Amino acid sequence: MAKSVARLSILALILALVFSVGAAPTSAQGGEKWCAGKTIRFFTGGAEGDAFGSIVQRGAQAAEADLGVTVEYIYSGWDVETMTNQLREAIAAGPDGIAMMGHPGDVAIMPLAEEAAAAGIVMMYQNVDVPEVRAKFGGGYVGAQLTPQGYALGQEIVRQFGFGEGDAAVVFIPLGQPGRDLREGATKQALEDAGMTVVVLDALPEQASDPLSALPALSAAVQNNPNTKVIVYPGGQHLGVVPQFMDALGKAPGEIVNVGFDTSPAIMEAFRSGYVQLTSDQQPFLQGYVPILSLCGTLVFGFGPLNVDTGAGFVDVNNYESVAALAEAGYR
């Protein structure tokens, strides 16, 4: 994370120097914000108001306000087919830049990235990386490095709670999303490497807007595996309703360790009530702000794209209060 912060600090310094010596574009010299006149289509990922996507959008809106760029927000409900179709429509609309969620994966995005490049549209990617696309057609990535993030969470589960041989875990994995499934798949691998038995449940896209729809599958998995010690959820939407999950399963706070990704007001409350024990923070605000900043830097100054690992480490019962106020304000 220190390297990522350093890159942002360097960019801020460059911009300050450019403006101070009068080399900025005419609009900046005239008092307008330096990316005014540019248009970007930005993919928030979820539906409007989504617990995770709303923080991403808040970051993009902050960049929009700071830089003066016009941003058009796209809502996809985390559905990869919808995202792909919306990307096709975005390219046809001809904006200056597109900030795209990488969930559809390299294969689906590749021909569209080629089309965007031919049209002179600059691309950035957030939340899920598409390394093959970026290697061929350019663009930066802003988000956690999914495989290391997921594996590190599995290791932290074992370290903190001492699970091993004979213990069972339930792990939600978005099985139909190659690339996006790397994170939870790596968590599964880390738990299995520690000797645990892992039961996999499919994290369906529609569960993001209705996480309680996962309850029947979760209930059956726990009932069929009475030695379940930990449940790993695929995102903040699921983790925020853990108290309801546990109440439906008849489990007291802490009887099963509940772990996942992201922070939110609901997750902070679940920490306070003892139902959630550990989460991996990926700072979604930065996944909104930095892609806009990077696209504007490329469009206005010809800067190369930014690549920022937003994985910030772990939030647990010992430190969650240090981020609670920002989470409750919608910034973490």
**What CATH number corresponds to the domain at position 258?**
3.40.50.2300
Are 186 and 298 part of one and the same domain?
A: no
pLDDT the model gives residue 179: 87
CA distances from 6 to 1, 11, 76, 181, 285 (A): 9, 9, 32, 29, 17
Mean pLDDT of the chain: 92
In a domain, 222, yes or no: yes
What are the structure tokens assigned to 62, written together?
């902050």
At residue 7, what are phi and psi to the nearest 5 degrees? -60, -45
pLDDT for 290: 98
Give the number of other CB atoms < 10 A from CB of residue 194: 18
> Are the CB atoms for 52 and 262 separated by under 8 Å?
yes
DSSP state of 129: -
In this prediction, residue 31 carries a pLDDT of 58
Residue 7 has pLDDT above 60, yes or no: no
Section 228-239 average pLDDT: 96
Order of strands across the sheet with 168-173?
Answer: 197-202, 168-173, 228-232, 257-261, 278-281, 313-316
One domain, residues 206 and 93: no
Q: Examine residue 289 and state whether it is found in any structural domain, yes or no.
A: yes
302 & 270 share domain: no
Assigned domain for 317 exists: no
27 belongs to a structural domain: yes
Give the model confidence (pLDDT) of 120-161 as tens digits: 999 999 999 999 999 999 999 999 999 999 999 999 999 999
* 74 and 151 co-located in one domain: no
Beta bridge partners of 80: none
37 pLDDT above the threshold of 50: yes
Do 8 and 129 reside in the same domain of the chain?
Answer: yes
C-beta separation of 313 from 147 below 8 A:
no
Cα 225 to chain center, whole Å? 30
DSSP label at residue 301: I
Verify that 14 and 132 share a domain, yes or no: yes
Q: What is the pLDDT of residue 123?
A: 98
pLDDT of 27 over the 90 cut:
no
Classify residue 224: in a domain, yes or no: yes
pLDDT band at 201 (very low <50, low <70, confident <90, very high): very high
Q: Are residues 269 and 298 in the same domain?
A: no
Three-class secondary structure assignment of 69-103: CEEEEECCCCCHHHHHHHHHHHHHHCCCEEEEECC
In a domain, 70, yes or no: yes
Residues in the chain: 332
The answer to whether residues 115 and 186 belong to one domain is no
* 293-319 tens-digit pLDDT: 999 999 999 999 999 999 989 999 999
Residues 181 and 275 reside in one and the same domain: yes
pLDDT at residue 16, rounded to an integer = 45
The answer on 275 and 171 residing in a single domain is yes
pLDDT, greater one: 31 or 287? 287
Under 8 Å between Cβ of 100 and 74: no
Q: Are 126 and 176 in a shared domain?
A: no
> What pLDDT, on the 0 to 100 scale, is given for residue 228?
98
Of 243, 260, 281, which residue sits at a domain end?
A: 281
Tokens representing residue 135 in the block: 């290697």
Structural domain total, the chain: 2
In a domain, 233, yes or no: yes
Q: Is the pLDDT of residue 10 over 50?
A: no
Q: Is residue 101 part of a domain?
A: yes
Instruction: Give the structural domain span for 249.
Output: 146-281
- Residue 3's pLDDT is 42
Mean per-residue pLDDT for 215-220? 98
> Three-state secondary structure along 176-236?
CCCCCCHHHHHHHHHHHHCCCEEEEEECCHHHHCCHHHHHHHHHHHHHHCCCEEEEECCCH
Residues 195 and 301 in one domain: no
pTM of the model: 0.88
Write the DSSP string, 264-286. Answer: -HHHHHHHHTTS--EEEE--HHH
